[in-house]
Structure 1
């Protein structure tokens, strides 16, 4: 085995901690004749064909020149076709250097293949560019950044597409899951499967609190459909490949089970009339899967997934009447502070709760204090400490990113003059 397949063994055995599963090595490895895998943050696969190269995904807009150089180090042949597994910015925005190369060399423009919903996604990204830049900054703790150039698919499909390039024939299937525009690919002649982000070596990203709707039940169904193909090699959207029928069946089947369980348990409680708070308190992933390395809450969290299932089937209202048309946070904070004996008393109680490890409750109190006294440096100093403690204790990137952003914001307000 090569270095990347050796790393895959470490993933499977638990020798590599799940928090490191998404750390890209930048390595390339030929997994099978004519199939070269580029291990980036979002993976790229290069398929050699007699008609030119096929790219499965193109990586992200920030690293597009690096991706181009890596592909060209693999093979200088023209790119015939690029397939987007979905339209996320880390998978579908790496083509500009390849398109420019084709123009400069007089080659045919590479064909771009994706589900028909990719175009609507790109349109939405244009509409909400500034908002997405802020989300990106908060989620990954980086400066705000979001692209404004998109290369739309010129070959689209609805449910399935049989794609032939030279001697290679790939079967593309649409599945809603992490997105509504997802494509998974199957190469029957070689028994190779590309999952896109339907399998990513961590608990499914089916509940992202800052993004549009995800589809847990359909996601699980797509994993069952992939498993039915009986693949021998699985190439995921993130992480490293899985080799061997038994392991692939286990990984796909158990990830489907994880999702199916959360859907069934959530919907059962919704049908029983339970409010969201009860559902969140009671629904947990299957206990028997708790130690699986590919189902750890490294990126998303199970309770976020439950919230997304609730939103899909029941809308955004959580079942608490006061939350339907709530009072402004500043008014609520002022009332609570008055009951507590003032903002200082509220801050002190928040600090006491935080010191006792009750950070969730402390967060409510310090947010009320900040809403009641938004220009008070001492309030923000306490708030920064509480949210930094929450960030430090968070295993999931999304949770850590949001709490870290709040901690940074209050830390800045604690030392900078606040507007009156």
Structure 2
């Protein structure tokens, strides 16, 4: 979402959303917030510690391990992953000397065959989304937590493979005297689970809830995240009488009434976007028309835990649209679109040539129409030999400036990073 106060809002969010704390929830359960990009939940068993996720790097997990040794002499013998994202598993290797079992759930839907063939571009887009090439000043915040360790020289990913991989929908176990119910909960990932500790009345929800608008779609790319299933998972989580909700990122939510309020609003806001998007599709609206029409009702838009600091509503709408009906919007003109280079050449010719487009870009920049300026630059950059080398050089410079200005207006950390990363790439060409 673009907003004139985006940078100030992101700075405030970064300063308050994930302070470094070791928070005691009950005599048995603590949560380490701000020790890494993600949280680590520590459960004390009769003779050992059970970790739910392990932070994002070996160095950070080693510091956590040292802290735990000051609290208890019980070793870490069990690790449970809420899902497979590397920022939740990257510190696992720090516990290799004592861990005896590592538990995970298999994805409910397999990754598309051949995905490994596009990993280079997915990795490039991931680099942009998370701002790995940006300075701390440029980045402001990585969104869900402090910057990942591997991005700033604070350790590396250190993975250990699961020793127990469940395919069931739900598993109940007692681990070192602590009762757990582990439940498959498709949402941000297809291997996502939540963990219910009945004796403690604690719900560990992984990344299906955190305190801002979620990545219903990640701009780095990936398979469609089933939003309807995500809503169902949130309803399932809410069916438990939790007194503490411990998310995979940011601060816990405490008290049953508060959990019901927060999760209820979070769930209904997502359901609202899904329902409104499907309504627009059923009316025959295009993806662009739908993305422009669907907005969060004010009831949800003002809530602090639904601000667009990570994902955005518009990206969510576009993902839902494509997830349900694919790329074709029903307009026959789009069945066989003019090839991009020819399209750019034709529009430049129609507008009066390269100089006319260049003048329009300058005007757009002067009038703070940064999105329009960027789109006009794309015409110049996409028209092949029709545009002079000087014109393309100017267009790269203007587009980089447009992206930097858009970054200043973007409330989503991911969007900000993508704008700035691409601006840097253009300046190097």
The two structures have a TM-score, normalised by structure 2, of: 0.83
Q: Deviations over 1:231-284 (max 9, x none)?
A: 111111111111111111111000000011011111122122222122112111
SS of 1:239's partner is: coil
**Whole-Å separation in 2 of the counterparts to 1:21 and 1:132:** 31
**Whole-Å separation in 2 of the counterparts to 1:312 and 1:140:** 24
Residue 353 of structure 1 corresponds to 364
Residue 114 of structure 1 corresponds to 104
Note the C-alpha offset of 1:122: 12
| Match for residue 390 of structure 1 among 395, 400, 406 | 406
| Match for residue 286 of structure 1 among 297, 313, 327 | 297
**Whole-Å separation in 2 of the counterparts to 1:132 and 1:162:** 36
Residue 13 of structure 2 corresponds to 18
Q: Is the 8 A contact 1:118 1:153 kept in 2?
A: no
SS of 1:306's partner is: helix
Range 325-334 or range 224-233, more displaced: 325-334
Residue 152 of structure 1 corresponds to 161
C-alpha distance 122-333 of structure 1, shift in aligned 2 (>3 A): closer
Note the C-alpha offset of 1:87: 0.7
Residue 56 of structure 1 corresponds to 52
The question of 1:266 aligning with 2:250 is answered no
Greater relative contact order structure (CA < 8 Å, 6+ sep): 2
**Whole-Å separation in 2 of the counterparts to 1:306 and 1:115:** 29
Q: Is the 8 A contact 1:41 1:238 kept in 2?
A: yes
RMSD: 2.7
The question of 1:86 aligning with 2:102 is answered no
Residue 416 of structure 1 corresponds to none
Q: Is the 8 A contact 2:284 2:330 kept in 1?
A: no
C-alpha distance 220-370 of structure 1, shift in aligned 2 (>3 A): same
Q: Is the 8 A contact 2:181 2:195 kept in 1?
A: yes
Note the C-alpha offset of 1:404: 1.4
Q: Is the 8 A contact 1:119 1:153 kept in 2?
A: no
Residue 130 of structure 2 corresponds to 140
Note the C-alpha offset of 1:165: 0.8
**Whole-Å separation in 2 of the counterparts to 1:119 and 1:150:** 22
Note the C-alpha offset of 1:17: 3.7
Range 263-272 or range 320-329, more displaced: 320-329
Q: Is the 8 A contact 1:276 1:319 kept in 2?
A: no
| Match for residue 177 of structure 1 among 167, 183, 187 | 187
Number of residue pairs aligned between Structure 1 and Structure 2: 389
The two structures have a TM-score, normalised by structure 1, of: 0.85
**Whole-Å separation in 2 of the counterparts to 1:49 and 1:258:** 37
C-alpha distance 169-125 of structure 1, shift in aligned 2 (>3 A): farther
Residue 69 of structure 1 corresponds to 63
| Match for residue 41 of structure 2 among 18, 21, 45 | 45
Residue 10 of structure 1 corresponds to none
Q: Deviations over 1:348-382 (max 9, x none)?
A: 21221233233332222111112224843212111
C-alpha distance 379-127 of structure 1, shift in aligned 2 (>3 A): closer
C-alpha distance 313-97 of structure 1, shift in aligned 2 (>3 A): same
| Match for residue 97 of structure 1 among 84, 94, 98 | 94
**Whole-Å separation in 2 of the counterparts to 1:127 and 1:150:** 23
Range 403-412 or range 315-324, more displaced: 315-324
After TM superposition, the structure 1 = structure 2 runs for residues 326-345 of structure 1, keeping only pairs within 5 Å, are 326-345=337-356
